[in-house]
Amino acid sequence: MKKIYLDGLIVDEADAKVSVFDHGLLYGDGVFEGIRFYNHRVFRLEEHIRRLYDSAKSILLTIPLTPQEMIAATCATIRANGLVDGYIRLVITRGVGPMGLSPYKCPKASVIIIVDTISLYSEEAYANGLTMATCSSRRPSHDILSPQVKSLNYLNNVMAKVEALQAGAEEGLILNDLGLVAECTGDNVFVIRDGFITTPPITAGALPGITRAAVIDIAKELGIPLAERDLSRHDIYTCDECFLTGTAAEVIAATKLDQRVLGTGKPGPITQKIIARFREIVGTTGTPV
């Protein structure tokens, strides 16, 4: 039986319950992180924790643990579940309060840590690449809600995912209000043309992904030129290679967008080189559990 961290206690899955008056449930008021661990090591845990606290600060949510206490609680939950490799979902809700939007009536935030296995895409998708479709759902701009806040309100991403699935694709490409590429429903986007890697900047509406940052580091290590700049769909249609990054997805090639075959229609050599190096790094680095 899975063990869940809930407000200071590690309990059985069946006992991990939240109130129907929790504002995370009622209003999507809260933040979260998805984190991976490999071979008893949590990949870039400190970076994930920092992003979690940045998101919370942005929405005036006080987390009732220090970052170091959160790290300790995360590792303890992994140990309680006895997994060598897996996925962590760290959730902070606004907590229990009366009906109404005001967060100031919720006296204390709730902390939930879930540890489980995950398989976002099929083995065939990793071998052959993903099919993508452009979604009509747009990424909200920074003056509406900063895309850098990883909040519990994921309806924008959910509806984009629905569009992609209804179009027969596995992932959806989301544009910003200017019609430029922001990211996918759960992944950052990279394209390769003439040996040069490009990815949209954070200002375009991309989440500052932890795996995204790891891949940027890998490109520098391998001597592959990379830049952050605005991308249009045309840039993806005409690229030599395309790949996506995300904690759950890791690094995966994309080989079709809107019925256009990308590159050769197979994961390209630079993509494969980055995937291989990424797998080496996650298997040997990270915070020991």
Mind telling me the catalytic residues? 150
Give, in order, the Cα–Cα distances in Å from 21 to each of 9, 11, 18, 151, 153.
20, 21, 8, 18, 16
Asked if 70 and 191 count as a contact pair (C-beta separation under 8 A), the reply is no
Distance CA 225, CA 79 (A): 40
Distance CA 217, CA 226 (A): 10
Sign of the torsion formed by the C-alpha atoms of 11, 12, 15 and 16: positive
Burial classification of residue 82, based on how many CB atoms lie within 10 Å of its CB (0-12 exposed, 13-18 middle, 19 or more buried): exposed
Residue 42 has which token pair?
Answer: 């949590």
Asked if 145 and 105 count as a contact pair (C-beta separation under 8 A), the reply is no
Q: 223: Cβ–Cβ under 8 A, 6 or more apart, which residues?
A: none
